Structures are given as structure tokens and as C-alpha cells.
Structure 1
């Protein structure tokens, strides 16, 4: 008889259904169901019985984890660590985050360098599971009308979301670079800043929150994608770009380097508008750079296939079954 568990998967609510945490939770729920388990997704824990809790985001799920462990102290918790957990809250508000990490039986990080931020006493519980993405259903056909550079992610401080737009302003007049950004503004201030940028920057367009199909269409016609975050846990949009073969121009932070590798050619220093502008110029003028990045992404592609993420989750559950 197949092994089946009743699993409650906690993912805190966000301002949009397209937050990284929500997308990750939805994907994991689907994989766990494929593995034969019964999964209930909830914003918070209601006290109901379950064989296992899977929690996304240590800081936001701290109370849910504590209540579950109080009710069922011998039943396991798997905690997926977000970027804000390990690169922000561990420093600014460590109490809830550390409590969640200490109560969890297994910790899951999304990039290969996350271990550096995890306390040494908890590293034995840590494993890395890369977020997968399916191959693009659409062929990758970069636009011929312009050199389209996409920025995919919500407008909030940690994403440094207007860095690509500001870099595009520094390009020569003859440049064909166009920045197309999608994602919801988390505050009115960010919405106003994006609109103000469009008013003065003919190279920039912000389209707001769009459905996943529109994101895939944008990727399919992009020459490159910029991820300019101040910190990252392991962005799924990088997985999507890798699977689509779209070169990534990334801020050099552990969450990006832990996905793309230390020797990847498309990095720029965090917050460095001039360096990103130079990289955009090279993207437009230097075919060898594009070839180098695409070859690197092709080598990385097997790490981000859905079958690999499914196998990793299967191994994690089997390990828990043996040891907890």
C-alpha cells in the first residue's frame, strides 16, 4: 500500500496571489499530491490534525509552527526558508525566525549558499531544493523591434525594482534597450515612483501585476532579464529564465550566486546603476557575452527541472519517515 500522509501546508497571505511564497507553496502542494499525500493549503494553522506541517516563511509562520508543535510535539515540521528569513529577519527580528527554525525538523533553502546564513547548530537539518520551472510552452523568440529586457517581480524595497530603468537612462541615444517591468507595487509610493519613471524615461514601461501567462509571454520575447534584488532566497523567476534560456543580469548576492554559480558572467554589484548600464550595453553590443551566458544557463538547466524538485521532495519525506 502506498504511503500517504495528511499534510497541512502553511503559506502566509500576501498582497497578491503571485507572491514568491504563494507560488512556491502552490507548486509544492501539487508535487506532494502527485506523491500520493493529502494536502491542505492554509494561511494559518487552525488546530486540525495532520501528520506533517510544511511551512513557508519562518518569521510569518512562527505562530502556526508553535501551535502545531504544541498540539503534536512528535509530528514533524518542514520549514522552507525565504530570503527575508535568512537575509533580513535573522538580523532585524531574530526571535520568531530562530524559534521556527529550532522547532522545525527539516529546513529547506532555495539556493546553494544559504547555509552561510543559517546558525551552525541548525545546519545539519538543512537541505537545498531548487525551485523548478517547466520549459516555456512558447518558443524563445526575442523581439526584433527592440532589445527587450524584462524585470519580473513586485515593486518593493528589497527588490530594488527601478535599478534597471535607471540604468537604461544612462545608455547612449542610439541604444535599442527597452525595460519592461511586471509586478504589483507593494506601496503607493512605489507605484508613484514607477509612473514618474515612465514619464521621464522612454525606455521604461511598467505594466503592473499580470497573470503568469503574461509573464511567460514577456520572457519568450526578452533578450535578457534583470534581477536587481538587495537580497534573495532563490527567486523562482531565475529558474524560469534558466529554463527559457533567457540570459539573466543579476545583482551579486548569495541568493543569485547560489543559483547561477560564482563564475557566471552576468553579475553587477548591488545597487550599482553604472555597472548595470555597462552590462546592458554589453548585452546589446557583444554577442560573445550572450553566448557565454546562454551556455552557462544550458548547463544549469537540469538543476531546475520539475522532475528533480519532485525527486528531492520525495527523498526529504523518506528521510523524515526514517528518522522522526
Structure 2
């Protein structure tokens, strides 16, 4: 018996090397034994038949979502909500609003996100924590402290918070700040280049492969995640699954992954608080050990088997229901 055909629409393909692409690639692998997967950046009526469609990003995938809903109204349609969907576009963008109305189900990627949705669509939402492989926690010499940010340079990631913290810590040669990410906004790339020239303890490494990035996360003492807007950041779970503690902005997307009682938050844009955290982590290694222990308690949420089970339960239920309705 032929496997059902699942079309996975993502606005970002392999060349983007961002969170949307990592999600699409991983889901294709997790579901390969149960569905025939086709990954594309657009669906239209000329596309091969799909028994169900999963679209990442309510706004950017809106044309595909609308076309599929119109062409195949009895086939399941799932929309995966990103941070910009949840925390910007659903309040202001008609195409994103249309996408959540057309969807049979909505996938959100952290445990606080359901309550961040408009009340009228919350019943459609399913929380699916993303996953990654676990890596051995490495032993690290306490000096110097190595901090790492992973995120393409754009406003939503708040790179200037890290830039300013680096300036505040310029007199601390025992605190090194690395930064991985492509300059998606030219001005931010220019600022990073100037900062790297002026502050020797800050290094902008540009875009790296996923594997190279994971190795850097594994070797860092602490991952810094200063974003203003997140739907469930890959790098946070990759740090947790590598035994690397996290310092994160206190936003819904970070709290929904690390937990409300996690000890390593700072307010959005508060570079002074971030710099103080890094100074404390350098001076008091026990702080890093405590944060790592808290992260370890969250690590089972990000296991591949859990993510696969959540996805299969949702998709199989929808597919069975659509067959019954025919």
C-alpha cells in the first residue's frame, strides 16, 4: 500500500540554513517511514497531488495555504507558526490571519505559545517541541569564559544587545564573545565588523554550516540568546541537548522552552544585565553548573522520539478524519 503524500511548504530552503529549513529537513527525516515527503517553497494547482499539506510560516506561506485550501478543501491543512507570526504578523497582517483561519490545525513550538494565539483559534493548536540529537557535555577550562550567540544578523534577533555587552566587557580579556550568523541586514553586518575590529574579545564568525555551529555550541561555556521575537529557537534546544547552559532574553518563546523558573533570563535589550551575567558566570563557575542542571531537566522535551510521536499522532488523526469524511 502506497504511503500518503505529504507536501511540506517552507519559505526557506537549504541555501538559507535557517530555522525553517532545519525544521523542514528534520521533519522529512522523522516522518519518512510513514509518509512520502515533498519539500517545496510553494504549492499550486499544478503541483503533484498531496494528501495533506504542512506549511511553515503563516504569512510567508500564505499564498500556498490559500491555494491548497481552495483546491483541496477536504484534505488536511496544517500551519506551523513562527515567532514573527505569533508576535507580530497575526496582529497586523491579513494574510497571516487568513492562514490560521484556513488551517485545520496549528502547530506551535513552545509551551506558552497557545495562550499567545487569538482566543478563537487556540483550540486548533498543538504544542510540538522541536528536537535534535544529544551531544556529550564537554569539560571546559574556566578561563577564559567563552560565550556564543548563534543567529543571523537581523533586528528580531537583537544583535545590538550582544554588541553593547561586548563593548561593556572590552576590558575583560578573560571573557570572549563569539557570534555566528550571516548579515541579513547590511547595517548590522557593518556594525559587527567594526566591533570585531575595535573590541578584540568579540569575534564575528559569519555564517557557518550547521555541523560547525553545533560544535561551537558544544564547546562554549554559555549560549547567549538575546532575541526580541522567537517561536521556539533551534539554538536554544541545541545548547540544552549539548549540556551548554543558556542566558536568554525573557520573552515568551524562550520561557516556553526553558521554563518559567529558569534562572538565566535578562530583560529584552538589557545589555548591562547581560554583561553582568557574563561577569558572574566567569567569576562564579557554580552559576554555570546550576544553569546547566536546570537545562538538563528540560532536555527530554527536545528528544526526536517525542517530536516524531507528536507529529505522527496529529497527522494520522487528520488523515483518518479526512478519509472518513469522504
TM-score (normalised: structure 1): 0.94
Contact 2:245 2:291 in 1 (8 A): yes
Residue from 33, 40, 43 that aligns with 2:38: 40
| 1:212-260: CA deviation from partner (whole Å, max 9, x where unpaired) | 1210221121000000001110001111000001010000000000000
Match of 1:282 in 2: 280
Q: Deviations over 1:249-296 (max 9, x none)?
A: 000000000000111010000000111111111111122321221111
Partner of 2:26: 27
Distance 2:15 2:178 in 1: 20
Report if aligned partners of 2:10, 2:42 keep a CA contact under 8 Å in 1.
yes
**Segment drifting more, 23-32 vs 222-231:** 23-32
Q: Which has the higher mean CA deviation after the structures are superposed, 10-19 or 78-87?
A: 10-19
1:115: how far off?
1.5
- Distance in 2 (CA, whole Å) between partners of 1:311 and 1:265 is 30
Change (3 A) 1:176 1:196: same
Distance 1:276 1:143 in 2: 22
> How many Å apart are 1:16 and its aligned residue?
4.2
**Range with greater deviation from structure 2 (78-87 or 5-14):** 5-14
What whole-Å deviation, never above 9, does each CA across 1:11-48 have from its counterpart, x for those lacking one? 013794311111111111111213x2101100101323
Equivalent residues of 2:218, 2:243 under 8 A apart: no
CA RMSD of aligned residues (A): 1.7
Which stretches in structure 2 are left out of the alignment for 5+ residues? none
Q: 1:258 aligns with which of 256, 259, 263?
A: 256
What are the equivalent positions in structure 2 for 1:179-218 lying under 5 Å apart? 179-218=177-216
Q: Tell me what 1:54 maps to.
A: 54
Matches within 5 A, 1:1-324: 4-13=3-12, 16-34=15-33, 36-47=34-45, 48=47, 49-93=49-93, 95-136=94-135, 139-142=137-140, 146-171=144-169, 173-324=171-322
2:295 aligned counterpart, secondary structure: helix
Could you tell me how far 1:53 is from its partner in structure 2? 0.3
Distance 2:90 2:215 in 1: 37
TM-aligned CA distance change 1:230 to 1:174, over 3 Å: closer
Q: TM-score, normalised by structure 2?
A: 0.94
**Bigger mean CA deviation after superposition, 193-202 or 171-180:** 171-180
Could you tell me how far apart the structure 2 residues matched to 1:303 and 1:243 are? 10
Please tell me whether the aligned partners of residues 141 and 220 of structure 1 are also in contact (alpha carbons under 8 angstroms). Answer: no
* Segments of 4+ moved more than 6 angstroms: none
Between the aligned partners of 1:300 and 1:189, the Cα distance in structure 2 is 36
